[in-house]
Amino acid sequence: MFSRSCHYGLQASLFIAHETADGGKVDLVTIATAQDIPRHFLSKILQTLVKQKLLKSTKGPNGGFELMRPAHKIYLYEIVEAIDGLDIFSQCGLGFKLCSNNHPCPIHDDFKVLRDQTKELFNQKTLQMLIEDVRLGNSILGLGLMEEA
């Protein structure tokens, strides 16, 4: 449903929120390495999030990325909107351009339910909620934060 750019943007945003929760910044190389995201690709995605005022970027030796607002005020929906746009929550599950409620594709009704549930979930979840689950050990946040078994 989401583009690779959007997945990477969500992963990087969560990583930044986690790593900067007590202040500070996290640099591009650290994010790319920890999340196994190609650095050049990640750079473009993060710049999009900076332009959309979700992240702040500081250059220089002590530079890096940080959230523009507190993690509890950034919803996953905003990140999706910044990268993939809102059409992602109304597109056909099979990719047909003419699919609609009046002219449904074979999976329209089933996919609409899933799409609407996903939209609602992303409207409710903040970065803070997700990083809290990571801190409590209920979930993981990519390669960089996985505990050794």
SS3 content of the chain, % helix, strand, coil (to 5): 55, 5, 40
CA distance 18 to 107: 38
**Residue, of 140 and 27, whose pLDDT is higher:** 27
> pLDDT tens across 43-67, in order?
999 999 999 999 999 998 889 999 9
Is it the case that residue 4 has pLDDT exceeding 90? yes
The matching CATH number, chosen from 1.10.1740.10, 1.10.10.10, 3.30.70.360, 2.60.120.330, for 4-145 is: 1.10.10.10
> Is residue 142 over pLDDT 80?
no
Can you give the residue ranges of every domain in the chain? 4-145
Task: Extract the tokens encoding 34.
Answer: 């920890």
